[in-house]
Structure 1
Amino acid sequence: MNVVLFAQAGVPEEGRSPRGCAGQAAKADFLRARLEAAPRAWDFLSIALSVVTADLAVARAESPDGWTREIDVIVAVADAPFWRTQAPAIENALKFLSTDRWRLSFVEGGMQPAPPRDPVRPNENCVVLLSGGLDSLIGAIDLTTAGKRPLAVSHVVRGDGQNQQTFAAAIGGGLKHLALNHNANPPGPNETSQRARSLVFLAFGILAATSLAAYHEGEQIPLYVCENGFIALNPPLTGARLGSLSTRTAHPEFLNRIREILVAAGLRVLITNPYEHLTKGEMLTACGDQQLLTSLAAQSVSCGRYLRYNYHHCGRCVPCHIRRAAFLAWGQPDGTSYKYDQLGLDDSDHANFDDVRSVAMALAEVKAEGLDAWLGSALSYPKIGDATPHKDLISRGLTELSALHQLFGVK
């Protein structure tokens, strides 16, 4: 399969297979803003776009175990010799992220846009990823209340665009906001799991960070990825949720691997998750502007099935569990409308739904066997460091979930 980056695929010539495409809109919007990014940041975006398109194109159902795929990707970049030295590191990061076997090769000829004639160099001193979710909302609020000037970068996803715009306009008197879309469109049907999609969101943030005036003046730019520590670690609730069956978008092991690649590339962008050791409930409680948060929190999106239920929170998936438990811990009314509200009802839509049962089983096992026995080797990662703070965090996160189940009488 051939994929055209930063342009439309066009109509294939007679006898040739259709081509995919990705990144045209992101490139156009970035250059329209007259921003100038580092060359290797463009290369990193080329890699991310190639990966997310391949992730969409290769069906998991066709792999021998129904999940793990073998994916070879050849990426055109401007600095192929350098990126060849990083291929093993990128492959390992992607393997952790998606539990697939990736093989990356690099060739010359990657896109590098001409610098704008009159470049705009924003005077913001950091970048925050603004997804439209509750955690990124809290993160952006906290940055401004701490006196920082973040550039908000969004990955436009259907159903979240309006929230992203609303939040950016409401926070700190209005944040400079850059909304980009990867527009990855491989030929043929799409794989729905999309475990590698977070790489392109990071790439957008890195690209934006290298466009700031402070970066051009030689400074290091913080890139804030704001995610509560429990969902970032996403400990497997049951044996059926091992590995990338639970998403690893902001897992500290994955972020640490990307940090090392950026250092090797000489890209002065430091990925930071200030909430790595906080639960979602603790994030809500500690937010620096409670009035603003209270006015916007219910509008944010957490649900893993939001599009499936016509832009409506399901109320029963694991992200909805964590959201609802967090509101309960916060002590403020949860104004979110949930399709399946009463978790304790003993039917297949409520207490017997798979995710509800998984949470209940995890809580029961921890109570019976202890946290360490339940976790097993779930925190045994080489780059995560001391696991003790993460264990404490998981214990507190489970306490929040337990309170939710007790409230609804889930047994």
Structure 2
Amino acid sequence: MKRCLIECGVPQASEADALAMNVSEPGKNVNLRIDYISRSMIGNIPDLLIDLLEVAAYVYCADQRIARGSAMLTNFGEDWRRSLTFSIPVRHPEVWQRADVQELLIDTLGFLSDDSYEFSFRKAEAPVQPRELYFPELLDAFQENDEVALFSGGVDSFAGAVNDIVTLGKSVTLVGHYSSTKVRNVQEELIRDLRQRGYERRVSYVPVWVSNEVAKPVEFTQRTRSFLFACLGLVVAQMSGKNGFSFYENGVVSINPPLAGDVVGGRATRTTHPKVLRGLEALFSTLLDSEIEIRTPLQWLTKKEVTQKIADAGVADMLAATVSCTRPRSWTVKQKHCGLCSQCIDRRFAILAAGLEKFEPSQNYKRDLLLGDRSADDELRMALSYVAFFRDVAAMPKARFLSGFQQVISALDHFPDLSVDEAGSRLFELFQRHARSVEEVIARALIEHGDRLYRGEVPSGSLLATCFTRDHVEIAPESDYDRQATDFVDKLSAPILEFAVDHDAEQVLFHGGHLLEGANYRFVNALIENFRKAKRTRSEVQFMPPHDVADKIGISEQSMRQQLRRLRDALDPLAVMLGIPLDQDSFIETKDRAGYRLNPACREIALGDIHPPNPAASQE
């Protein structure tokens, strides 16, 4: 694991192998500016949120300046993950040094980017960087709007914006982050066109520029961009007097399980994963001591369904002006989509599935999705992996879907308005709809270009030719065997979670070598006697009140609740290792006004009966 010290707010690093970053002179190498803000709004932003802006800018820019390892999963991703230690000056160190704030910051960023984080915060020395530095283009007036939403200029963000502004008649402040003038130009063109169509009073635009200065980025995965984006959204929302903002992104991308076998952990982007969003909500709410909500109005829509909202709003002719490609350096005036990255592939499938290709011709892509030759380098692999993944999902029983992907498992208990079972059913249905739309696009293309395929006129390295020759699109058998098999698997009872307690080693062990120790062991140990007593007497397992659990562990109630969250996160890998769908109550159950207990459905077994890890099994 690569380790790096990032010293912030200094012109020069104190160590040869450390990285110095600064938002101000001397030694400024991080740009942070928010344009088109009214003078009155600046007065609403507290110093604590200026601290948050600087922390987010440092994290995002450092993410780009410290390279990960190979794009392939060498040595189980050993070089992919990084250990990043930040030293940051802040105006309110007493807040940032709090254990609960640091835990939320570290845990959320760790899950988001798959890196390890440490933070040390110090009092910013005088003169403190003035807030006005970040707001260079002030307006005398700023209209009050119904919503604040994040705006990238892609299909999802544009669809969410026009749905709110055009279809629902809301007024919206759109916050657009950019690190390239090409990206800002895309956002401004879309905003300008909406205003020209009569929606000027319903749309406001706040562009935000955050980028490295002098030093060129060497890492382009940008896993922490959504942390920066969310912080920007929070700041603008608070300046507008609101306690929430919206992320416009479809639900399949939000969950985003890895399409290829070597894409694991943070490599499968988690920008708006429900666990990340709930972590950000908790961090923001803790910082501000006020309930903050991050809304995702497109969560239960596929990319096709999101794209159709643009047509439903009557602005399908603006579709071609949106840009989803992650490679702005390759953009030209006529072609702003490479056609090779996963975002381009996902976008093009959605447009074809929605029947909107007449509004965006294939010539807008440097590589045509279906007919373009992808035989060079690794270009074919991404597209094939995409089709193969959703082909498998289409044939997958619900139980296997809910237990087979860590991204799905870790999302199930992070939908506040849904039970785990309800969330699982809705996610399964969502992915099934998306898988069907991918199959429909391939099937239609095979019919349309069948004669050319037969004559060998389609490049052999194209996605369509490869699907044709490898029989990737299969006709369902007349037998209802698949349906019967699916129904049978769905009806199987969930396996029992078994564990053993080693009091001498202070460990709780599970099959496959997974274990809990330290503070996690102590939490379980506080509840184990009630569990054992109930099993001996065949009675109900009693809940233990929060203050009694905290006393037994020897920590405060607030710290105890944070520890429970970490314990539950530590159990996430079990779902993949054992094939057991887990929710937050699967091992330690919570009941309002009653407290906590070990779930009665679990089974304590002897240490000798714990199965050791399988040395042949692959690991992340």
Interval containing the TM-score (normalised by the shorter chain): 0.7 to 0.9
Alignment partner, residue 483 of structure 2: none
Q: Distance in 2 between matches of 1:31 and 1:362?
A: 44
Which secondary structure state, in structure 1, belongs to the residue aligned with residue 173 of structure 2? strand
TM-score, structure 1 normalization = 0.85
Alignment partner, residue 50 of structure 1: 58
Which AA in structure 2 matches 1:108? K
Equivalent residue for 1:99, pick from 114, 132, 143: 114
Equivalent residue for 2:414, pick from 366, 369, 384: 384
From the superposition, tell whether residues 114 and 327 of structure 1 become closer, same or farther in structure 2 (CA, over 3 Å).
closer
Q: Per-residue deviation at 1:246?
A: 1.8
Deviations 1:47-92 (A, max 9, x none): 2012112212322129981200000112222222222221111111
Alignment partner, residue 318 of structure 1: 342
Equivalent residue for 1:397, pick from 434, 450, 471: 434
Q: Per-residue deviation at 1:388?
A: 2.3
Q: Distance in 1 between matches of 2:256 and 2:425?
A: 16
| Structure 2 residue 267 is matched with structure 1 residue 245 | yes
From the superposition, tell whether residues 28 and 229 of structure 1 become closer, same or farther in structure 2 (CA, over 3 Å).
closer
Q: Distance in 1 between matches of 2:18 and 2:260?
A: 43
TM-score, structure 2 normalization = 0.58
Residues 351 and 357 in structure 1, CA contact (< 8 A), matched pair in contact too = no
Higher RCO (C-alpha 8 Å, min separation 6) = 1
Equivalent residue for 1:339, pick from 346, 366, 391: 366
Q: Per-residue deviation at 1:103?
A: 1.0
Which secondary structure state, in structure 1, belongs to the residue aligned with residue 324 of structure 2? coil
Unaligned regions of 5+ residues in structure 1, if any?
none
From the superposition, tell whether residues 329 and 350 of structure 1 become closer, same or farther in structure 2 (CA, over 3 Å).
farther
Q: Per-residue deviation at 1:361?
A: 2.2
Alignment partner, residue 277 of structure 2: 255
Paired residue total: 399
Alignment partner, residue 365 of structure 1: 392
Give the RMSD, CA atoms, in angstroms: 3.4
Deviations 1:276-331 (A, max 9, x none): 11112112224585322x12111111123343354621224322222122222322
Kindly name which structure, 1 or 2, has the bigger radius of gyration based on alpha carbons.
Answer: 2
| Structure 2 residue 88 is matched with structure 1 residue 70 | no
| Structure 2 residue 163 is matched with structure 1 residue 142 | yes
From the superposition, tell whether residues 100 and 406 of structure 1 become closer, same or farther in structure 2 (CA, over 3 Å).
same
Which secondary structure state, in structure 1, belongs to the residue aligned with residue 257 of structure 2? coil
Which AA in structure 2 matches 1:249? T
Alignment partner, residue 281 of structure 1: 304
Residues 22 and 182 in structure 1, CA contact (< 8 A), matched pair in contact too = no
Residues 33 and 209 in structure 2, CA contact (< 8 A), matched pair in contact too = no
From the superposition, tell whether residues 286 and 193 of structure 1 become closer, same or farther in structure 2 (CA, over 3 Å).
closer
Q: Distance in 1 between matches of 2:79 and 2:237?
A: 38
Equivalent residue for 2:199, pick from 173, 179, 184: 173
Q: Per-residue deviation at 1:184?
A: 2.7
Q: Distance in 2 between matches of 1:397 and 1:157?
A: 31
Which secondary structure state, in structure 1, belongs to the residue aligned with residue 112 of structure 2? helix
Equivalent residue for 1:206, pick from 211, 215, 234: 234
Which secondary structure state, in structure 2, belongs to the residue aligned with residue 72 of structure 1? strand
From the superposition, tell whether residues 246 and 308 of structure 1 become closer, same or farther in structure 2 (CA, over 3 Å).
farther
Q: Distance in 2 between matches of 1:118 and 1:290?
A: 30
Alignment partner, residue 21 of structure 1: 22
Q: Per-residue deviation at 1:30?
A: 6.5
Residues 401 and 428 in structure 2, CA contact (< 8 A), matched pair in contact too = no
Which secondary structure state, in structure 2, belongs to the residue aligned with residue 92 of structure 1? helix
Q: Distance in 1 between matches of 2:388 and 2:106?
A: 34
Deviations 1:347-369 (A, max 9, x none): 51599711111113213433555
Which secondary structure state, in structure 1, belongs to the residue aligned with residue 409 of structure 2? coil
Alignment partner, residue 533 of structure 2: none
Alignment partner, residue 578 of structure 2: none
Deviations 1:354-404 (A, max 9, x none): 111111321343355545435603311164243321222111112222222
Q: Distance in 2 between matches of 1:142 and 1:258?
A: 25
Residues 48 and 200 in structure 1, CA contact (< 8 A), matched pair in contact too = yes
